[in-house]
Amino acid sequence: MHAGGRGGRLGAEVGAAAVSLAPSVVALRGGDLAAYHGVEHKAIAAYEHDDDDAADAAKEHERCGSHLMAPLLTLNVAGTALLHRVVRQPGPAHQALLALGSLGAAVEVFVWAERNPDSPVTRALRVPGHELQRVLGTREPTEAQLEVGRAALAEILRVEGEPA
């Protein structure tokens, strides 16, 4: 066992997971990036619901990558704790495989939630992602930012050959 014991290792893993979020927190904290992220969600939601006005749509979206964060961090922290119990000195290859496995499992959880949107489990799994979007990842855009989103969506639809 390493210094600090299992509790110390788990605390270190949780701390490392939190630190890994720091660049996103700095980039998104209330600036234009968060507003354009909100525009993206609003434009997609309006398109999905055949609504011409993206301003009416919610800035939070079900398929946002933020919904991957809770399962990914949970699986990675738990997997790292298990890895250190099973392998005396895990190397970079072990950690890379664990990261890949955690990401794959988190994506599967995300896909399952998309296929089962009315499940109470899905609703519970989406709470952290919605909170990340609500508090940090998105903000209400200005009318000018919404117009950029409308133009971007129209261009994507044009390139894809779909009617706007």
Residue 143, pLDDT > 80, answer yes
**What contacts 119, CB < 8 A, 6 or more positions away?**
113
Residue 52's pLDDT is 83
Least confident segment among 14-18, 49-53, 57-61: 14-18
Residue 22, pLDDT > 90, answer no
Whether the Cβ atoms of residue 149 and residue 43 lie closer than 8 Å to each other? yes
Residue 156, pLDDT > 60, answer yes
SS (H, E, C) 101-152: HHHHHHHHHHHHHHHCCCCHHHHHHHHHHHHHHHHHHCCCCCHHHHHHHHHH
- pLDDT, average across residues 157-162: 92
Q: What percent of the chain has pLDDT over 70?
A: 94
**What contacts 96, CB < 8 A, 6 or more positions away?**
none
Q: What percent of the chain has pLDDT over 90?
A: 68
Q: pTM of the predicted model, to two decimals? A: 0.77
Whether the Cβ atoms of residue 2 and residue 9 lie closer than 8 Å to each other? yes
- The residue type found at 124 is A
Residue 117's pLDDT is 95
Q: How confident is the model at residue 2 (pLDDT cuts 50, 70, 90)?
A: very low
